[in-house]
Every structure is written in structure tokens, then in C-alpha cells.
Chain A
Amino acid sequence: MGADERAVGSQLNLDAVLDRCRCGDELAWESLVRSYQSRVYGLAYHYVANREDARDLAQDIFVKVYKNLRKCPDANHFLPWIFRIARNASIDHLRRKRARPPSSQVSEMEVNSIADCSSDPEKHWLMEARRGLFRRALRMLTRLNREMIILKEIQGLTLEEMTGILDVPIGTLKSRSHRARLELAEKVLALSQGQEGAGL
């Protein structure tokens, strides 16, 4: 999978934008932020499962990216690079949060997906409800299985790219990959059957 396929909405080619960013071009940096903010926010949200935390976290991630722009690789390796930074920041955030749990549990409103371009509101609502179910199921998985789903199935990284991010051998990831998908499907099934049982 090439970089261009995965880059979001950028007119200039990513290598050119990255070159300009490395030289301190503020417009190029703005374009880069706009191109990747929904992916980075999406990643952070699925790690921390809270909109406000995810937004703060995504901002911190971009500050980290900015400070490391000079070390950033070429376009083909940019997405895994930015995701590695995002993933490590997310894990740090969870670790800090575990050390200091929140005093009250605020009920979390669901976020809106960008991918949804359906014009039919009813269909939109149904799909959003369905994605909500997938998100709840995702939170029920073990950590490695959850990360497998977030990085591979949701963000579309390859197993090769993931070994660099998770520091787990590729063989382990290979054998985990199907188990994680199956486990998620089982949780989704259990949740949706529970909903039917409750008359929803």
C-alpha cells in the first residue's frame, strides 16, 4: 500500500509537504496537520475511549511530531512513524490515568465518523449505532488484541509496520491477528444479542 493512497486530502505530494515542514514552512505544517488530524484523533480516541482526553492527547501528539520533524522519514514511512508517536503517547496517557483515576465517571457521548457520507439519516443513524457497538466491543478486548484491531483493521497498517510500533515479533502478530478479529466478532455478537434481549 503506497503513501499516496493513505494520505488524506492533500493536494501536494506528501514528500514535498514533509520537505517544506522540515524547513519550517508554516503553511506546509498546517496542511500536514489538517491531513492527518482525523487519523491521529481516531487512533487516540480508540486508545483512550474519551473525546476530551483524545483531543488533548492528539494535540500533544502533534506537538511531539513537530518537535521531531527533522527526524521524520519519507512519505512511504510517514504514517507508521506518526502512529508510533501517537501510540506511545496514548499508552503513556493511559498509564498516567491509571495512576490517578477520575473522581466521577462521565458518560461518554459517541463520536462521529468522518467516513460516513451517506445522505440517508436513518441509514446513517443505524451505521453509527453499529459502529458504537464495535467500539464497545473493542474496549472489552485484551490490550494486545485491542491494539491489533486499532492498528491493523481500523488504521490499515501492515504487520511489518506494526512490529516496529508494538515491538512484538511478526510471528506473534500473525497468529494474533485472526484471534483478535474473532474475539471482537464474538463480543459484538454477544452485545447485539444482549440488545435484542433487552428489547432494543
Chain B
Amino acid sequence: MSCSDLAERLELVLGEQLRDNELTALKAHVEGCEKCRDLLQACRGKQTLEQADSLVGEVLARTSGSTCSRVRSMLCDHVDQSLHEDNAALVQEHLNYCSSCTQLARVLEESAVALPQMASLDPGPLFTSSVLAATRSSQPPDKWALFLSHLSLVFQRPHFSLEAAYVGALLVFLVFGGAPVSAVGGVASAAFAGFQLNFAKVVRDTPAGLSDTWTDLYGSCENQLEGKIKATQGAVGRALETLQGSAEQLRAMSDEHLLKHAAALFQDATEKYEEYSRNLGSTEGSEDRPEETAE
């Protein structure tokens, strides 16, 4: 008789229902096999309940293999209630007797509730403002980029030269800052007043939406140009020189040329601004690179 023969006949052994020749074989095997001796002792109640528990495991290990690992492979589906009826019943039956699998199933059930609750954590009261501060100082969604993209629409419009003239004049006005009118002289001052009238007309004639753009643009020009001209001597400085040079010419020109010239001026300033943006981008890029000096 082998160990597995014994396991198969365990019920008969315990019920003392073995035939004589089987009983002889059993005794012979048990004499030489400590494991089976322990098994029989345990089954006859000479061991604690805990040892008996491990005994069932031992029996199973010898017959069908450990069912715990098979149950565990289905345990997630069991907890999710996505197991086929038959399997669910068998797993449930195992759980009725196996405390370690039951504990594991309870933790799985608990994690289905506890884990989603961990998705959001409070980063503290100052977090939002520090993010906003960090993104305000970093570049993109730039109003200028936005403005230039609107501009590409404007270029295709019949009003373009008029609108461009306004913006050009606006630039002149802004560039010459606090004392704009006296610096450029009476002609430019008059021109500017004229452009303001034109602007009102442009706004009235433009489709809804675009007029908002021009209004926004006015504010944006003021803020961005003032800030950026003060902030840098580089490309915008050169743009400024161009504008100043042009302002000299403005004085010498008649009103009808002024419109065309302001348009050219505006384009020039735009190009200069783009150059300035590119330079800004490339210096920022170099700041991103790790420092070569030792820490």
C-alpha cells in the first residue's frame, strides 16, 4: 500500500472497514511511514484541532493538490461577483472551511472600497496658488501667440490695412509711453485721433467676436509691450529703434501715406516681436539644461 492508497481509503481505515489483507498492508506501510502514522493518529483525535486542519491540507496535497491556490486564482472574480455560478458555489464552500482564504477574500472586499478612496489626497491650502504662480511665469498659451493667430484671419480681410494701421498707430502710441503725443509731434497726434475714429468704424463693421478681439488686443498690447519693452534691451529694443526711426519719418509724411506706413510699421514690429520670442525661447532652453558647475 502506498501513501496515496492510504489517503484514498482513509474513510475505510477510520471506520475500521478494511478487509484483512488491506489491514495487513496498511500496518506494514504505517510502520515504515512516519507521515501516515501522524495522519492516522491525528484522525483518531490524538492531536489538536489545528494539527488536524493541516492534516486536511495534507490529505488534499496528496490527492487533488492544494485547493487554496486554485481558489485564490478565482478569488478576485469571486469578490467581483464575476465568477460562473458553479465555480462561485465551490469557492464559497471552500471559504466556509478555509480561514486563510476567507481572510484574504475579506481584504479583497475591503480594498474594493478602500483603494478608490485613496485616489484624491489633499495637497494643502497653498498648492493651487503656487501652481498658478509657477505657470504664470512660464510661457505658453501666450496672448501674443493667440493674437498672431487671430491676425492670420485678419490678413485675409478687406479691412486689413485699416486695422493694421490702427494697431501700428497703437504701437507708436504705446512705445512713446507717457508723453507720446509731444514726442511724435502734432501730425502723429492727429493721426492717432483719426485712427481712433477708424478703429470705432472697424469695430462696428467687424463681425461679433472679432471686435472683442481688438478690445482685448488693446489691453494686451498695453500690458505686454510695456512689460516686455521695460524687461529687455534686446530685440524689442531694436524694434523700438525702428519705431522711433519711423516716427521721424511719420512727421514728414502726409496723412494719406500714414496709413500705409503704419501698416508696414506694424508688420515690422510683429516680426521683431517674433524674433524676440524666439530669442526668449532659446535662452529659456539653455536654463533648462543642467548646470555644468559642481554642486
Contact = CB atoms under 8 A, between A and B. Distances in A.
Contact of B111 (A34, A115, A153): A153
A113 B117 contact: yes
Given A21-B141, A134-B111, A184-B111, A115 B116 contact: yes
Contacts of B121: 38, 41-42, 45, 54, 111-114
Contacts of B11: none
Given A67-B138, A182-B76, 19 more contacts: A23-B146, A26-B132, A38-B121, A41-B122, A42-B118, A42-B120, A55-B123, A63-B135, A67-B139, A67-B140, A70-B141, A113-B121, A127-B117, A131-B118, A153-B116, A178-B76, A182-B75, A182-B108, A184-B111
Nearest to B144: A24
A37 B123 contact: yes
Interface in A134-172: 134-135, 149, 153-156
Interface of B: 72-73, 75-77, 103-104, 107-108, 110-112, 114-124, 127-128, 130-132, 134-136, 138-143, 146
Contacts of B136: 26
Nearest to B140: A67
**Centre residue among B77, B127, B141 by max chain A CB count within 10 A:** B141
19 contacts: A23-B141, A29-B132, A29-B141, A37-B123, A38-B121, A42-B120, A63-B134, A70-B140, A114-B120, A114-B122, A115-B118, A131-B114, A134-B111, A134-B114, A153-B115, A154-B119, A178-B77, A185-B108, A185-B111
B202 to A, nearest CB: 22
B118 A113 contact: yes
A8 B120 contact: yes
Contacts of B143: 24
A113 B122 CA distance: 7
Nearest to A23: B146
Interface residues of A, number: 52
Contact residues of B: prevailing secondary structure = helix
B80 to A, nearest CB: 9
B120 A69 contact: no
A24 B119 CA distance: 28
B62 to A, nearest CB: 25
Contact of A33 (B76, B132, B140): B132
Contacts of B72: 182
A87 interface: no
Contacts of B122: 38, 41, 111-114
A97 B40 CA distance: 58
Contacts of A155: 119
B135 A189 contact: no
Interface string A177-200: 110011011101100000000000
A66 B140 contact: yes
B123 A24 contact: no
A113 to B, nearest CB: 6
A197 B121 CA distance: 31
B118 A59 contact: no
B216 to A, nearest CB: 10
A77 interface: no
Nearest to A114: B120
Contacts of B75: 182
Given A115-B119, A154-B116, A188-B107, A62 B141 contact: no
B127 to A, nearest CB: 6
A120 interface: no
Contact of A34 (B108, B118, B128): B128
A17 interface: no
A115 B117 contact: yes
Contacts of A154: 115-116, 118-119
A93 interface: no
Contacts of A153: 111-112, 115-116
Contacts of A177: 76
A38 B120 CA distance: 5
A55 B120 contact: no
A22 interface: yes
